[in-house]
Each structure stands twice: as C-alpha cells, then as structure tokens.
C-alpha cells in the first residue's frame, strides 16, 4: 500500500488513522532492510466481475493462504515451491497441517497488525441463499430470467 508510506514520511498526517497498512520508510533509510516476510491482501467482490468472490489472503515467498469471508469452508493453501501455479489446494491435507497452522497464524497476526476492517464501501456480498457459480447468469437483485 502506497498511502501509509507517503503519510509516514510527510510532516503532516491528516488521515493516517483512517488508512490501513505499514510504512515503507525503513526502506528509504536502508534499501536492504526487510520490512516483512509476507503480506496480507484483499480483493473485494465486484458486480462487474462476478466470477471472483471477496477474498482475504496472506502470502510469503513459499506459501499462500486464502480465505473467503462469509464462507468459512472455502479455504485454500498452496505450497508455492512445489506448486507455483497453485493447482493443488492443500488446505485439507493432514500432511500439510503444520503449514496451514503457520500460515493461519501469520494471516491473523498481519490482519491485526494492519488494523484490518471490512470496508463499508464495497459491493454487497452475495444475497442470502445465492449459490456462487462461474456460470454467467443474472444477479438475483436484477429480477431477470
């Protein structure tokens, strides 16, 4: 996120409390400084691109953990060294339970560290009872056949 970096090096911080993220200022002092080993990110459902639901995730160089708000059973975990194209979801693999546990912990810590809140300006989530599918079809609220 660029804005927290800009506000952290600016003498005035007018809206810093409203912006989530961490400062990149340490990189200006020493470009070799490691400011993080992974990152938390989000993508919000957009009516124009209805095939992609809202997701929250944490990624490191070697793994990726993805959750979908309001769909607790939708969880993805990928070992990016063994599967760089993210073809095999390891979330339910007992063999990878330690990786899942570590990534869940990192996800929750980073989510708390950035002060994550679900913004109220995003498109509404799927209506109650709506079944998500990649098949193109009208939205329930459009009242089209």
What is the pLDDT confidence band of residue 144, given thresholds at 50, 70 and 90? very low
CA distance 69 to 75: 10
For the stretch 67-101, pLDDT in tens is: 988 778 899 999 999 999 999 999 999 999 999 99
Domains and CATH numbers, the chain: 1-35 (no CATH), 36-120 (3.30.1120.10)
What stretch of H or E contains 127? none
Give the sign of the dihedral formed by CA 124, CA 71, CA 86, CA 107: positive
Q: pTM for the full model?
A: 0.67
- Sequence-ordered list of residues with C-beta below 8 angstroms from that of 116, at least 6 positions apart, any chain: 20, 40, 42, 56
**Among 130, 127, 77, 137, CA closest to 107:** 77
């Amino acid at each position: 996120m660029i804005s927290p970096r800009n506000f952290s090096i600016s003498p005035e911080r007018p809206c810093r409390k409203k912006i989530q993220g961490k400062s990149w200022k340490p990189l200006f002092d020493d470009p070799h400084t490691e400011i993080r080993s992974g990152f938390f990110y989000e993508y919000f459902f957009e009516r124009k691109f209805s095939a992609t639901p809202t997701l929250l995730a944490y990624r490191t160089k070697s793994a990726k953990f993805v959750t979908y708000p309001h769909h607790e059973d939708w969880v993805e975990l990928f070992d990016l060294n063994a599967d760089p194209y993210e073809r095999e979801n390891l979330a339910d693999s007992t063999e990878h339970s330690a990786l899942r546990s570590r990534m869940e912990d990192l996800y929750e810590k980073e989510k708390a560290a950035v002060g994550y809140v679900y913004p109220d300006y995003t498109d509404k989530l799927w209506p109650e009872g709506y079944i998500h599918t990649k098949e193109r079809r009208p939205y329930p609220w459009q009242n089209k056949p």
